[in-house]
Structure 1
Amino acid sequence: MYLIMLILITFASTADSFIIGFNYGLKKVSINNTSNFYIAMVTCVGTFLSMHFGKILGDLMSVKAANMIGGMLLILLGMYMLKMSVLPKRNKILEMSEDPTIVDEDKSQVIELKEAILIGVILSVNNIGMGVGAGITGMPVFITPLICGIASFLFVKSGSLLGGLLKSRRLSGYFEIVSSVFVLILGILGFFN
């Protein structure tokens, strides 16, 4: 069960990394390996902190109550994400991916260290609810953030490469919907953990 939940949370929490990479690739904004590494590190630390907080909350209640509360939190988050992917409103991730100049202030068409850290922070803030919910349900607090950090690096890289090859933004919308469904499934599995 943990392996399935680990795969789901990894995909769901790093989907925004793919979307950022994909949309920046479309706009020919380069994210080199060093900048991508910093994005992944900040994402890893942000996931760890939110999961650790969730674990502290989960330790204050019975396992059954923790699983139910964590699962419900993830289900609500997944429903909200699904609504936002179908009926999008302006948010930092959407603004940042559609207009790289928000982050690329010097308009160099290259994401540098300071800009990479900003992207990582925004991605981490966007994942707080998921991290807390996963921590409450008892997901491993050390291995999960590490895997999410590695996945973030790979997703930004693959998104950027794919975005550089394609001309349509539609793929990132589908990715958001799939990510939302995975969070819903993760929440449902949390009840049976």
Structure 2
Amino acid sequence: MTKSYFIVMILMALVSNTDNFAVGISYGTRKLLIPFVSNIIIALITGIGTLLSMLLGKEISNILDPKEATVLGAGIIIIVGVFIVIKETLRIIKGDKKDEDLKKISNINLDNLGIIGRIPKVLQNPFLADWDFSGCISIGESVILGFALALNNMANGIGAGLAGLNPFATAIFAFVISLLVIWIGIKLGHDYIYNSLGKLSAPLAGVILIIIGIYEMFC
């Protein structure tokens, strides 16, 4: 395993956890807690989600010519990166509507939704993971949040698997990094840090994805 290949895997694991970091920061600003056990569950789901999506990408690559698979995987990574940069930049330009979203949360009833039904809602707004408004993400709530975060990164994993990155090593990195970034995010979760890092973390992740895609396509 070359040094550059090792770095690319770590970068991919970091990118897969950008949402986790942003959630940690935003939870910190709202004084929401994620206990250690809940954090481990989220990290496990993140790691398993990364592994499964990359294995799917690797299976698809077995059908294709190795060069074609690498180019296709790199292309997917670049497209996702461009989409993230555009979407998140537009969100920053339009202004943050999180306070408005929080006002609407109290009017949303999740009691009648099962686990699967709650995941799309949490994808739209991670604060809905705390559906009992206890101020603490329980084990059950961490499962919902973990699945939502993992689903958000499926395209990255498929592209990385197609591009030929090692699924198991990347998944282990994703698990460890998830543990760290959520904890760090919550610790840093005050208004200044949120405004300077929370908003910029997603566009930065898109830029990193574009760089990874270009590297995999031409190196």
Shared fold, TM over 0.5: yes
Gaps spanning 5+ residues in structure 2: where?
98-120
Is 1:41 aligned with 2:67? no
What is the alpha-carbon distance in structure 1 between the residues aligned to residue 28 and residue 36 of structure 2? 14
Instruction: Tell me what 2:132 maps to.
Output: 106
Q: What per-residue deviation string (whole Å, max 9, x for no partner) do you get for residues 79-103 of structure 1?
A: 001011111399954621xxx2x11
2:125 corresponds to which of 83, 88, 95: 95
- Residue type of the alignment partner of 2:125: E
Q: What per-residue deviation string (whole Å, max 9, x for no partner) do you get for residues 54-76 of structure 1?
A: 00011111221111100111110
What is the alpha-carbon distance in structure 1 between the residues aligned to residue 88 and residue 131 of structure 2? 27
Aligned residues of 2:122 and 2:145 also touching (Cα < 8 A): no
Instruction: Tell me what 1:62 maps to.
Output: 65
Which aligned runs of 4 or more in structure 1 are off by greater than 4 angstroms?
89-94
Is 1:8 aligned with 2:11? yes
Structure of higher CA gyration radius:
2
1:139 corresponds to which of 165, 184, 196: 165
Instruction: Tell me what 1:149 maps to.
Output: 175
**SS in structure 2 opposite 1:139?**
coil
Instruction: Tell me what 1:118 maps to.
Output: 144
Q: Give the TM-score normalised by the residue count of structure 2.
A: 0.81
What is the alpha-carbon distance in structure 1 between the residues aligned to residue 73 and residue 142 of structure 2? 31
* Aligned residue pair count: 187
* Percent identity between the two aligned chains: 31
Q: Give the TM-score normalised by the residue count of structure 1.
A: 0.92
Aligned residues of 2:81 and 2:207 also touching (Cα < 8 A): yes
Aligned residues of 2:45 and 2:147 also touching (Cα < 8 A): yes
Is 1:18 aligned with 2:48? no
